[in-house]
Amino acid sequence: MCGIAGVMYRGGDKDFSTGEALIRMLDGCQHRGPDSTGFALYAPEAPGRLKLRFFIDPASESDDESAIAAIRQRLVDLGAAIEEEARAGDNYRVTIRYDGDVQKLSYEMEHAAKVISIGTSLEIVKDVGSAHDVDDRYHVNEFHGTHGLGHVRLATESDVKPEASHPFWATGFADVAIVHNGQITNYWKMRRRLEQRGFEFTTDNDSELIAVYLADKLAQGVKLQDALSTSIDDLDGTFSFLVSTGDEIGYAKDRLAAKPMIMYEDDELVAIASEEVSLNRLFPGRALNTREPAPGTYATWSRST
């Protein structure tokens, strides 16, 4: 039960204030979800490097330094070379050089700590509170990049905690993230089939499934738009979701259109949100020619087009 937002700026690898844009859009629809807020932010990738973010639980018994030391050690054990590291809010952020299997690294690190995201270009920031609360803690407004997703959450069936909030990173796959409004009713059935094939899930949240489902297709060489097309058939329930990869952004909407979605497109950008009020936050005082995606449809946009 939530509000979603996504933005992609056209124009290749230039830096845009995507953090600020998403804060505004989410502030516009914060009424849809007061419990937690999150951002998936993409900056141009640095070749050979991976950015990792971890939750360092402030309520944990062990102190932060030893938790971080353990993560560091684990990374080194797995063959990663640490290049840069920093604390941000309750996160530990680290850039590594790593040329091994990302899925193996992801699962190993997931077993050792709470991973938020792994990517060459993706970083996820999410925590309890409003868009402005999360910005105060993590300085999302300073983030410049090419595209990103955002989400405000009203927890209905699972707890209010940072790891249960969106965006969801596709555990095991670099750079794939989703935000979802709705409920996937064949969650366990789909999850068991993916688990049979060796995939791991880190939460019981139905939205994580969408991320892993799509990332699995992408890893098999399926195009994002084709993965979105099959998702409409394969997923049961109500959904309006946005997905992003290193260079694409896309949406899919269920056939009942139970969850709203509206979009705006011009020469500069593509923006999609649950409500027009979020889109208008990017263009105060301007009446926009928006479009409501039809039920049961999907679409993708690429940075390069």
Partner 1 sequence: MVSLDLATLSVRDANAQLRTLGEAGEDVEILNPDARHHIGVGLTAPIHVTVQGSAGYFCAGLTDQAQFNVSHNVGWGVGDNMYSGSVVVGGNAGAIPGVAIRGAEIVIKGNMGSRAGQVMKAGTLCCAGNANFMAGYMMYGGTIIILGDSGERVGEDMSGGRIFVAGKVQDLGSDAMLTDLDQKEIESIHEFLDRYGSKAPKGFSKIVSAGKKLRYGTPETPMRSIPFNTFSGHSAYWNPKVQEDIAIKAQSGRYRIRGYGGARPLPHLSDIGFRKDLTDAGTHRDVVAKVRMETEIGGINGARPLKLSMPVMIAPMSYGALSRSTKYAIAMGSAMSGIAENTGEGGMSDAQRDAAGQLIFQCLGGRLGWNIHDMRRADALEIYISQGAKPGLGGQLMAKKVTPELAQIRGIPAGIDLRSPSRHPDILGADDLVIKVEEFREATGYQVPVSVKLGAGRIRDDIKIASKDGFDFVELDGMQGSTGAGSAEVIDNVGIPTLPAIIEAVEALEEINARDKIQLVLMGGLRDGIDAVKALCLGADAVAFGTSVIVAGGCISCMQCHIGQCVTGIATQDPAHEKRYQPEVEASNIHRFLESVRWQIAAITQALGYDDVTSLNREDLVALTPEAADITGLPCEPPGSDASQRQVGVVS
Task: Decide whether 32 or 114 has the Cβ nearer to partner 1.
Answer: 32
Give the Cα separation of 258 and 52 in Å (integer).
35
Q: What residue has token string 């056939």?
A: 255
Does residue 276 belong to the site contacting partner 1 (CB under 8 A)? yes
Minimal CA–CA distance to 183: which of 210, 217, 212?
210
Candidates 8-16, 57-65, 169-177, 284-292; binding stretch for partner 1 (CB under 8 A): 284-292
Cβ neighbour number for residue 31 with a 10 Å cutoff: 11
Task: Decide whether 176 or 282 has the Cβ nearer to partner 1.
Answer: 282
DSSP state of 11: S
Which of 20, 34, 265, 302 forms a contact with partner 1 (CB under 8 A)?
A: 34
Using a 10 angstrom Cβ sphere, with 0-12 exposed, 13-18 middle and 19 or more buried, the burial of residue 157 is: exposed
Tokens read off for 6:
């996504």
Which of 2, 113, 115, 214 does the annotation list as catalytic? Answer: 2
Residues 134-163 that bind partner 1 (CB under 8 A): 154-157, 160
Does residue 237 belong to the site contacting partner 1 (CB under 8 A)? no
Does residue 242 belong to the site contacting partner 1 (CB under 8 A)? no
- The phi and psi torsions of 26 (rounded to 5 degrees) equal -75, -35
In the residue annotation, 2 being an active-site residue is answered as: yes
Cβ neighbour number for residue 64 with a 10 Å cutoff: 14
Which of 78, 194, 258, 299 forms a contact with partner 1 (CB under 8 A)?
A: 258
Question: How near is the Cβ of 159 to partner 1 at its closest, in Å?
Answer: 9
Task: Decide whether 106 or 240 has the Cβ nearer to partner 1.
Answer: 240
Which of 37, 259, 298, 300 forms a contact with partner 1 (CB under 8 A)?
A: 259
The answer for 198, left when phi > 0, alpha when psi is -120 to 50, beta otherwise, is: left
Give the Cα separation of 179 and 273 in Å (integer).
11
Candidates 66-74, 96-104, 112-120, 291-299; binding stretch for partner 1 (CB under 8 A): 291-299
Do 254 and 240 form a contact (C-beta atoms < 8 A)? yes
Which of 52, 149, 170, 262 forms a contact with partner 1 (CB under 8 A)?
A: 262
Does residue 260 belong to the site contacting partner 1 (CB under 8 A)? yes
Give the Cα separation of 235 and 185 in Å (integer).
8
Which of 62, 223, 292, 304 forms a contact with partner 1 (CB under 8 A)?
A: 292
Cα-Cα end-to-end distance for the chain = 32
Which residues are the active-site residues? Answer: 2
Contact residues for partner 1, defined by CB under 8 A: 1-3, 31-35, 154-157, 160, 181-182, 238, 257-260, 262, 274-277, 279-281, 284-292, 294-295
